[in-house]
């Protein structure tokens, strides 16, 4: 069995997690540029392009996305260093249109240099109007890709520089015009149809993200600018407590109820259990939680703060117990109803098996048959569902935590979705994926414990 589990880890667990990590990273990469929100959070109204460039460098947005890239031959292997979306998109269109990167990059560099000259503070204010208008025209040129629009903007810009004092500005525009005409005369659009493979090695965004995740470095929250690891640790406290208690209670109550209902099939006890379970199953827990708060049976406004005198875990827990009873009930009863029905159905199916009839023919008592033969076989479907317990233990319940004001992972995840806090979202999704795979590995172990007849192929 050890070889089987090692194979499951190396050939299923690790490849699955790596595949999930790639998908999650690609989702995070496809999000909008986060530098604007981060810059506004850190610097407020003082945020400028210098700050944004520093943030992009910190986020390694000038690194390639993956270990390799496959593009057409017109794309250079350094195209990823242009991290500004407003610059990348027009350059991408020009590449598709003309296919000559050297000339396009020279034209783009001339535009940027000319923009720096225009933005430079001048002592002479006589050319202020011309320079201001030229600045807007040049910024427009960096975004334009249609030939007619570019030529029209260049022509209008030159008309602004008609005085002799503005000849240095006209010289720059003439140089830009020459470089643009060079793009059209040396175009090679056929290169768009020739693929090119670029290997970037380990110095890429995905590798850095994965290594950081393995070291439990999930980055910083866009909203609070605090480490995501710290915030997750703070919010998992109440989620794990509530989820663990509800899961344990659900199994301890549901399994005996399912066994009793199956043994006494068709009796009043079975009918009573079914009525209660169906009634619970039909009540949405978020509706019941809302009703409990509306009628004053459950405290609204969340959990009160801990007293400074309380230091131990159990002291803190029992101080909040009166506020946790009804949330635990709302967490527990949907799983209780579902598990009981599943256990009852599984027990009834096993009771019809031939080995049960053989055991009765041998004279074994009903209690022995149920305890030693039927119960362990009936646990197989329940164990299968147990694979999803670990993710639930970590993620909690979004709706119930919001309704009861519990500062757990569910509420934290909801706030991250609303604020587009992607480092938090993708860290939680990745952790849930890992816990899901671990949960099913634990289920495999429990299969062998509950039924020794189950053999795992090597």
Residue 1 is predicted with a pLDDT of 65
CB neighbours of residue 35 within 10 Å: 22
pLDDT category at 390 given cuts 50, 70, 90 is: confident
Residue 232 contacts residue 427 (beta carbons within 8 Å):
yes
In this predicted structure, the answer to whether residue 458 has a pLDDT above a threshold of 60 is no
Structural domain contains residue 118: no
The whole domain housing 354 covers 228-450
Structural domain contains residue 302: yes
Structural domain contains residue 21: no
Helices (H) and strands (E) in the chain, counts: 22, 2
The percentage of residues in the chain with a pLDDT greater than 90, rounded to a whole number, is 8
Structural domain contains residue 32: no
Structural domain contains residue 268: yes
Structural domain contains residue 83: no
More confident residue, 272 or 365: 272
> Region 136-164: what's the mean pLDDT?
86
CB neighbours of residue 436 within 10 Å: 19
pTM summary value: 0.75
Burial string for 70-90 (b: 16+ CB within 10 Å, else e) reads eeeebbbeebbeebbeeeeeb
pLDDT tens profile 316-366: 666 677 778 888 888 888 888 788 888 888 888 888 888 888 888 888 888
In this predicted structure, the answer to whether residue 180 has a pLDDT above a threshold of 90 is yes
d(CA 296, CA 291): 8
> Region 407-417: what's the mean pLDDT?
86
More confident residue, 150 or 26: 150
Residue 393 contacts residue 193 (beta carbons within 8 Å):
no
Which of 203-217, 251-265, 297-311 shows the lowest per-residue confidence on average (mean pLDDT)?
297-311
Nearest to 40 by CA among 219, 221, 222, 218: 222
The percentage of residues in the chain with a pLDDT greater than 70, rounded to a whole number, is 89
Contacts of 107 (CB under 8 A, 6+ apart): 176, 179, 180, 182, 183
User: Per 3-state DSSP, what percentage of the chain is helix, strand, and coil (rounded to 5)?
Assistant: 70, 5, 25
d(CA 280, CA 276): 6
Averaged pLDDT score across all residues of the chain: 82
Structural domain contains residue 352: yes
Structural domain contains residue 323: yes
**Most distant CA pair in the chain: distance in Å?**
116
In this predicted structure, the answer to whether residue 299 has a pLDDT above a threshold of 70 is no
User: Could you tell me the two tokens for 178?
Assistant: 């020459």
DSSP 174-211: HHHHHHHHHHHHT--GGGGGSEEEEE-TT-SHHHHHHH
Residue 175 contacts residue 111 (beta carbons within 8 Å):
no
Residue 455 is predicted with a pLDDT of 61
pLDDT category at 314 given cuts 50, 70, 90 is: low
pLDDT category at 62 given cuts 50, 70, 90 is: confident
In this predicted structure, the answer to whether residue 59 has a pLDDT above a threshold of 70 is yes
Residue 305 is predicted with a pLDDT of 64
> Region 251-262: what's the mean pLDDT?
90
Residue 122 is predicted with a pLDDT of 59
> Region 394-406: what's the mean pLDDT?
82
In this predicted structure, the answer to whether residue 123 has a pLDDT above a threshold of 50 is no
d(CA 21, CA 293): 40
Nearest to 210 by CA among 398, 426, 442: 426
Residue 13 contacts residue 441 (beta carbons within 8 Å):
yes
* CATH at residue 380: 1.10.3720.10
Count of structural domains within the chain? 1
> Region 127-135: what's the mean pLDDT?
78
Residue 166's φ and ψ, nearest 5 degrees, are -115, 20
């Amino acid at each position: 069995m050890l070889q089987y589990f090692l194979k499951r880890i190396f050939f299923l667990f690790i490849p699955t997690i790596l595949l999930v990590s790639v998908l999650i990273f690609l989702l995070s990469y496809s999000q909008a540029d986060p530098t604007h929100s981060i810059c506004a959070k850190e610097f407020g109204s003082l945020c400028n392009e210098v700050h944004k460039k520093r943030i992009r460098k910190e986020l390694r947005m000038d690194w390639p996305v993956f270990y390799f890239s496959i593009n057409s031959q017109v794309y250079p292997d350094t195209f990823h260093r242009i991290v500004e979306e407003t610059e990348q998109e027009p350059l991408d269109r020009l590449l598709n249109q003309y296919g000559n990167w050297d000339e396009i990059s020279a034209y783009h560099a001339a535009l940027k240099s000319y923009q720096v000259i225009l933005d430079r503070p001048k002592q002479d204010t006589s050319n202020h109007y011309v320079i201001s208008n030229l600045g807007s025209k040049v910024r427009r040129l960096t975004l334009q890709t249609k030939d007619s629009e570019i030529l029209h903007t260049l022509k209008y810009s030159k008309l602004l520089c008609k005085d002799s004092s503005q000849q240095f500005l006209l010289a720059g525009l003439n140089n830009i015009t020459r470089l643009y005409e060079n793009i059209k005369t040396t175009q090679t659009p056929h290169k768009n149809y020739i693929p090119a493979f670029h290997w970037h090695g380990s110095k890429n965004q995905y590798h850095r993200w994965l290594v950081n995740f393995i070291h439990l470095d999930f980055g910083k929250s866009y909203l609070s600018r605090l480490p995501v690891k710290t915030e997750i640790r703070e919010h998992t406290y109440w989620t794990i407590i509530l989820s663990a208690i509800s899961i344990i209670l659900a199994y301890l109550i549901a399994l005996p109820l399912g066994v009793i209902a199956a043994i006494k099939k068709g009796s009043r006890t079975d009918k009573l259990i079914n009525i209660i379970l169906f009634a619970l199953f039909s009540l949405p827990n978020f509706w019941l939680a809302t009703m409990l708060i509306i009628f004053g049976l459950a405290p609204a406004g969340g959990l009160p703060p801990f007293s400074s005198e309380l230091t131990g875990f159990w002291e803190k827990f029992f101080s909040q117990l009166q506020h946790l009873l009804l949330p635990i009930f709302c967490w527990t009863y949907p799983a209780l109803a579902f598990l009981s029905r599943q256990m009852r159905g599984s027990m009834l199916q096993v009771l019809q098996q031939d080995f049960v009839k053989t055991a009765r023919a041998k004279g074994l008592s009903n209690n022995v048959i149920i305890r030693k033969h039927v119960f362990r076989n009936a646990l197989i479907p329940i164990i299968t569902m147990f694979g999803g317990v670990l993710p639930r233990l970590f993620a909690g319940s979004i709706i119930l935590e919001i309704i009861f004001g519990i500062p757990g992972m569910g509420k934290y995840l909801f706030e991250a979705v609303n604020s587009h806090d992607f480092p938090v979202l993708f860290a939680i999704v990745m952790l849930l994926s890992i816990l899901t795979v671990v949960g099913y590995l634990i289920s495999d172990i429990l299969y062998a414990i509950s039924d020794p007849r189950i053999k795992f192929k090597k």
